[in-house]
Amino acid sequence: MRIREMLEIVALVTEWAGGRKQAMAWYRAQAIPAFGGRTPEALVKTGKASAVGDYIDHMVLGGFA
């Protein structure tokens, strides 16, 4: 289940991250201020994949981090 969630999130950011490798780097290392500095990877591991997806959707629409 978590692998599928990770792949979905990586797919969402691949284009604007500059490619799949960059998207994976973002997933593993990008601290998200809105989530107390936790990474997307840490959030998915704790069952918060939908929150990461909502965050990405918010950013795509021009929202702030």
Q: Which residues contact 62 (CB under 8 A, 6 or more apart)?
A: none
Host domain of residue 23: 2-60
Length of the chain: 65
Write the pLDDT tens digit of every residue in 31-42: 999 999 999 999
**pLDDT value at residue 63:** 67
Query: How does residue 61 score in pLDDT terms, banded at 50, 70 and 90?
Result: confident
Number of structural domains the chain divides into? 1
Cα distances from 13 to residues 29, 36, in angstroms, run 14, 20
Given a cut of 80, is residue 64 above it in pLDDT?
Answer: no
H helix runs in 18-39, sequence order: 20-29
Residue 65 lies inside a defined structural domain of this protein: no
Contact 26, 13 (CB under 8 A): yes
Read off the pTM: 0.88
Residue 56 lies inside a defined structural domain of this protein: yes
